[in-house]
Each structure stands twice: as structure tokens, then as C-alpha cells.
Amino acid sequence: MEHVIRAEGLKKRFGDTQALAGVDILARRGTVLGVLGPNGAGKTTAVRTLATLIKPDEGRAEVCGFDVVKDAAQVRRVISLTGQYASVDEELTGVENLIMIARLVGHPRREARRRAQELIDRFGLSAAGGRAAKTYSGGMRRRLDLAAGLVNDPQVIYLDEPTTGLDPRARNAVWDTVRELVRDGATVLLTTQQLDEAEALADRILVFDHGRVVADGTSEELKEKVGGQTLAVRALDRDRVPEVVGVVARITGARPETDEDTGLVTAPLDDPAALSAVVRGLDEAGVVASDLALRRPSLDEVFLSLTGHHAETEGEKE
Amino acid sequence: MTAITVDQAPAPRIGPARTLGNGLTLAWRNVMQLKHSPEKLIDVLMMPVVFLLLFLYVFGGVVAGSTHAYLQQLLPGLVAQMGMFASMGLGTSLCEDIRKGVFDRFRSLPIARSAPLIGAVIGDAVRFCVSMVTLVAFGSLLGFRFHTNPLSVLAAFGLAYALYFAVCWVSVLVGLVAPSPETVQGLGFIWAMPLTFGSSVLLANTGTMPGWLQAWVKVNPVTHLADATRALMVGGPIGDHAWYTLAWAVGIVVVTFPVAVWMYGRKV
């Protein structure tokens, strides 16, 4: 098991704010590590530390075996950073932006031009490559930003809230790119405030809150941490709700909750095998269910139970 | 701890040649920006014209008896002055770059720490050239003529650029300290005003000034530069002014460059 990112006890304070209060991070090669948390949770500070932009007050971190403080120069050779705010040069064209970075990382002029064009094409910006980046839409700008991050063939890619402010289509395009990068062998550390984004992309998720990791695991594990599964049944005929409640109560041994508006009956369920018993029970009672499902608690419910507040809470801007 | 066995050899320190190469690439970036947004040159295009017209026709008659005679001593003075004002734009754009996050990307790349600053200063030479060309072209229209040889004229611009280059580093410092691009402009005027007006830029003869001001004017590098450019462009004894100018330029760079790089490195 190879850990390309390995951080222990990272602490960082800005004035009165403890941005990181002792954070451990492990990311395996070729996986997506999701860092989930609201604004001000310390996500960006963690990324900037791992990208050698700031030094931790305490603790240590290694990327591909290089210490982010002592071997910062080597770390910069293997990483790329795509910031929360697209950090392309808006005055330059898309192609010029990429040529500039290619030249900076040491490609000769011709090679830089070739590489730039190749990335522009790959990210579907061929038509806009010669236009100033300030004329790009949010989605195009983010794609250019991702392309800029790939110029030096990084092994580790940090994406700091890569889809913030994007419409759903542009967001899906970024998601596809992230999956592609991982398929090509890169390791991605992705910060996000969106629970579904972490769930869709991340192999493992760290939940940040007030500079600490409050949970760590796959999205399934996180959900399990909060409790088992939830059985949800809705009768086709709203008059049969009491019978549904009776069947569910008998089989789960719990007191079901009924949503007055929708008629949805829910109850916690520890044994998944009980689902078929519920089906049989409803069948025997002659109740037709329009909705019958075992579902896991949503990540939002997970966040709420882990931190005591909703993920949407607006905190101090990092 | 299982470290990855990628290239574990210590990376060579980024040497001066690489640093300069990176700096030139980033200077190219600045030049491209100007190419795409030529309106950014408006200040260095307008300033020489406005200053030349105003000073020439406000002071000309009083100072030298005629505007034509005054033009011959004013224009070399403005060569010295223009650079001080033109360099202020650098701090503003630097401050903007840092705020926008462009520099975050630079700092996460395997390039020399100082390269973005060096690139910004080198790239700013374009603004210096534009302001000088405008000044001389418009001055010629009004009747200014060089009275020396091309080599001396070239030397005059060389000296002016040397001090401009040095002052750019002061502008970089201001850009790094200022909380917002707007304040850079304000701060810039505070140091550029006494430097340029408390000098021999407008008046070759500083004998009528009060003693305390004369003391300042005498040490002011802009005075030395203006006296030198005057001698090199229209003739007359140059004295030690060229050397003083160069000494000032070197002195300013020696002090401000390391401080700027240090502050840039600390900037979160």
C-alpha cells in the first residue's frame, strides 16, 4: 500500500484562527481523496500546506516521499495545484497560458507549443485557444485551469473546490476529467463543500470541521458510522398507511415514523434480510407499495451527526 | 513509512541561469498582456504628453525666457522623471496578480522563488520604452533637438533605465506591502512626488531653493539622473552625475531586491 500523501499532526494558526488543529492525511496512489467540509474548515489551508505554499506550525507532511518543508523544490516537481479561484492569467489566451507554464517547467519553445496545443485540444478548448481567458465562461476557465495543472505531468493533483460556481453540465465535465486523471495513474486530493461531489468521486473522504478531521472513511463507511440503513415504504393507496405501519413495526421491531405529507413510512433497519420479510408481509396484507427501498442516510445527515451542524453552515472564509 | 522511489536524488538548486530563464518567460507574459490589453499603456502614453505641455507652457516663459529654450532643459529632465511615475504601475499589477491567485500557481511550480518578481520587473521595460518614445517624439514635434551624438543620447537613456530598473524594485516592495491595488497607487505618489519634484527635473538651476530643500535635491538620485541626461542630450559638463546615478541604482537594488524576495516568500 503506497501512500503518496502522508501528513501527521499538521497545525497552522493565522492570528486568532486555528486553521489546522492537528490533521492527519493519508492518500494512496491512484485514488481520489475527498476533503469535505464547510467554508473555514481548514481545507484550503491543508491543500496549501501540501502544495508547499505555506509552512505548517507543527507536524510534518510528505508527498511522494518528499518533505513539504525540507524538500519543497522536489515536491513542486511532482504536484500541481488548481486553486479555488481559477488561477489562470486572464489577460493571456488559453494557449499562451499553457505555453507559459510549459516554458516555466523547462520545456523548450517548440515542445512547449506542442504540449499547449495538445492540452487545449484534449480539454475541448480548440476553438477558444486563441482568445483571452477573461472571455471564457466559468466552465471553460476551469477546464483551462485543469489543463494548466497537467502541463508538468504531475503525480499528485490538488483540486481546491474545482466545481464551485459551475453549472451542472460544466461540473459533470470536471468530474469526468478527474476520473480520467485517476485512470491515468494520478493521485487526486479534492476539496469540496458538496456532499454529492465527494460521494461521486472520492475513494475515501476526510470530513473537516474547525481544522480537525472529524471522520475518515469511504462514503459507505461514513454512512454506517451514523447508523444502519433506513427502510422506506409508501403505499400506493394512502388509506392503507396504518396497515403499512403495522407490518413495518412487526418486522423491524421499531416504531416507524410516518411522513404526514407523503405517507412515507420509515424505520431503522439493521438486518438487510428483513427487507424480503417486509415485502411478504405487505403482500399478505394485500397492500401495494409504490415505493419500497432500503436507503443509507445521506452524507448531509452524516455531517450533521458528526459535527452537530449542517454542512451548509457559512463559516469564516479561508 | 513507505516512501515512493521516484527520483530521490536531491534536486539541483535552481541556478542563476534557470532563474533568469524563468524570469524571461514571465516577462514574456507581461509583454503578451500588454499586447492583448494595450489600454494598459494609456498612462505611459498620456503622461509624457500632459507633463510636457503643462510644464513647458506654464513655466517656460518664466524660467527660460521662451518655451523653446526651456524645452531643451525640460525634456531631459522629464526623461528622468517619467520613469519614476511609470514604475508605479508595476506595484499595482503585482498586487492584483497576488490577489487573483496567479502567483499561487507560480509558487507551486518548480521555479525560482524570485522568478515572478524578476519577470515582472524585466517585462516592465516595455512601459519604460513606450514612455520614452512618446516623450521624445512629442518633444520633437514641439521643437526639441538632441545637441550631442547618438552614443551620448543612448547613454542617457541607459542611465535613465538603470534608475528606472532600481525604482521598479521599490514599486515591487510597495505592491507586496499594500493591502489592495488601489492603495499601491496612493502610496506610489507619496514616494514619487518628492523624488521627482524635489529635484532638478524642472529647473537646472536650483540655487533659489531654501537650504533644506537644496540639501535634499543634492542627494536625490533623480537630480543626478536629470543633470546627467541633460549633459548627455544637450551638452554641458556631466561631472560625477552619471556615477552617482549608477551608484544609487545599484544601492537601491542591493537593498530592495533581497527584501522583496523575502517578503514575497513570506506572503501567504
Whether A69 and A117 share a structural domain? yes
Considering the domain architecture, whether residues A186 and A245 belong to the same structural domain is answered as no
Alpha helical stretches, state H, chain A:
43-50, 72-78, 94-104, 109-122, 138-150, 168-183, 195-201, 219-226, 241-252, 274-285, 299-307
The answer to the question of residue A269 being in a domain is yes
Q: Give yes or no: residues A48 and A155 share one domain.
A: yes
| Percent of chain B residues past pLDDT 90, beyond the cut | 58
What is the predicted pLDDT for the residue at A317? Answer: 40
Residue B252 — very low, low, confident or very high, per pLDDT cuts 50/70/90? very high
Closest residue in chain A to residue B38, using alpha carbons only: A91
Q: Which domain holds residue B170?
A: 22-266
Question: For chain B, how many structural domains are there in total?
Answer: 1
In this complex, is the C-beta atom of B109 within 8 Å of any C-beta atom belonging to chain A?
Answer: yes
Contact A168/A137 with Cβ under 8 angstroms? no
CATH code at A114? 3.40.50.300
| Cβ within 8 Å of B, A 83-142 | 83-93, 96, 100-101, 103-105, 132
**Which residues does chain B have within 8 Å of residue A14's beta carbon, measured at their own beta carbons?**
268
Confidence bin at B9 (pLDDT 50/70/90): very low
Angle at which helix A138-150 crosses helix A94-104, to 10 degrees, equals: 20
Nearest chain A residue (CA) to B102:
A87
Judged by CB atoms closer than 8 Å, whether chains meet at A87 and B6 is answered as no
DSSP state of A107: -
Is residue A94 located within the same domain as residue A207? yes
CB neighbours of residue B38 within 10 Å? 11
Between residues B214 and B205, which one has the greater pLDDT? B214
Q: Is residue A249 pLDDT above 50, yes or no? A: yes
Mean pLDDT to the nearest integer, B75-89: 90
Judge whether A55 lies within some domain: yes
Same-domain status, A106 and A234? no
Same structural domain, A278 and A201: no
Contact between chains at A53 and B108 (C-beta distance less than 8 A): yes
For testing contact with chain A, the best of B109, B111, B118, B267 (most A CBs within 10 A): B109
Q: pLDDT of A29-60, one tens digit each?
A: 999 999 998 888 899 999 999 999 889 999 99
Are the CB atoms for A232 and A295 separated by under 8 Å? yes
**Shared-domain flag, residues A212 and A243:** no
CATH of the domain at A270: 3.30.70.100
Residue A116 lies in a domain: yes
If one compares B12 and B155, the residue with the highest pLDDT of the two is B155
Radius of gyration of chain A (CA): 24
Q: Which residues contact A15 (CB under 8 A, 6 or more apart)?
A: none
Of A14, A64, A90, the CB nearest to B4: A64
**What CA–CA distance (Å, rounded) separates A282 from B92?**
72
Among candidates B10, B29, B36 on the partner chain, residue whose Cβ is nearest the Cβ of A100:
B29
Task: Name the grid cell of B54.
Answer: 503643462
Specify whether A93 is located in the same domain as A9: yes
Question: What per-residue confidence (pLDDT) applies to B6?
Answer: 44
Whether residue B12 lies inside any domain: the answer is: no
**Residue A239 located in a structural domain:** yes
Q: Is residue A303 part of a domain?
A: no
Would you say residue B1 has pLDDT above 90?
A: no
- Between B166 and B6, whose confidence is greater? B166
**Closest residue on chain B to A89 (Cα):** B102
Residues A148 and A291 grouped into a single domain: no
Q: Residue B234 — very low, low, confident or very high, per pLDDT cuts 50/70/90?
A: very high
Report if residue A306 sits inside a domain: no
State the burial class of residue A76 (Cβ atoms within 10 Å of its Cβ: 0-12, 13-18, 19+): buried
Question: How many angstroms away from the CA of B259 is the closest CA of chain A?
Answer: 19
Of A146 and A225, more confident? A146
Q: What angle do CA B216, B259, B244 make, to 5 degrees?
A: 35
Query: Which residue is closest to A146 within chain B, CA to CA?
Result: B105
Is the CB of residue B140 less than 8 Å from the CB of residue B226? no
For the stretch A278-317, pLDDT in tens is 888 888 888 888 888 887 766 666 776 677 766 554 444 4
pLDDT band at residue A86 under the 50/70/90 scheme? low
Residue A126 shares a structural domain with residue A208: yes
Assess whether A253 and A272 both reside in one domain.
yes
pLDDT band for position B5 (cuts 50, 70, 90):
very low
Average pLDDT of chain A to the nearest whole number:
87
Q: Do A39 and A160 lie in a common domain?
A: yes
Say which range, A156-170, A253-267, B78-92, B125-139, has the weakest mean pLDDT.
A253-267
Return mean pLDDT, chain B. Answer: 88
How far apart are alpha carbons B101 and B14 in whole angstroms?
23
**For position A85, what pLDDT does the model report?**
61
- Asked whether residue A68 is domain-assigned, the answer is yes
Number of domains in chain A: 2
Q: Is B113 on the interface with A (CB under 8 A)?
A: no
Choice among A124-138, A140-154, B94-108 with the minimum mean pLDDT: B94-108
Does the pLDDT of residue B266 top 90, yes or no? no
Residues 6+ apart with CB under 8 A from A92: A100, A132, A133, B29, B32, B33, B36
Do residue B8 and residue A155 have CB atoms under 8 angstroms apart?
no
Reading the block at residue A33, the C-alpha cell is 481523496
- Asked if the structure places residue B185 within a domain, the reply is yes
Count how many Cα atoms sit within 13 Å of the Cα of residue A31 in the half-sphere of its side chain: 19
Q: What is the pLDDT of residue A237?
A: 86
B3 band by pLDDT with thresholds 50, 70 and 90: very low
Residues of B in contact with A81 (CB under 8 A): 104-105, 108
Min Cα–Cα distance to chain B from A179, Å: 23
Of A4, A85, A100, the CB nearest to B101: A85
Establish whether this prediction's ipTM goes over 0.85.
no
Q: What pLDDT band is residue B12 in, cutting at 50, 70 and 90? A: low
Cβ contact (<8 Å) for A64 and B28?
Answer: no
CB-nearest partner of A65 from B3, B11, B104: B3
- By residue range, what is the domain housing residue A177? 3-224
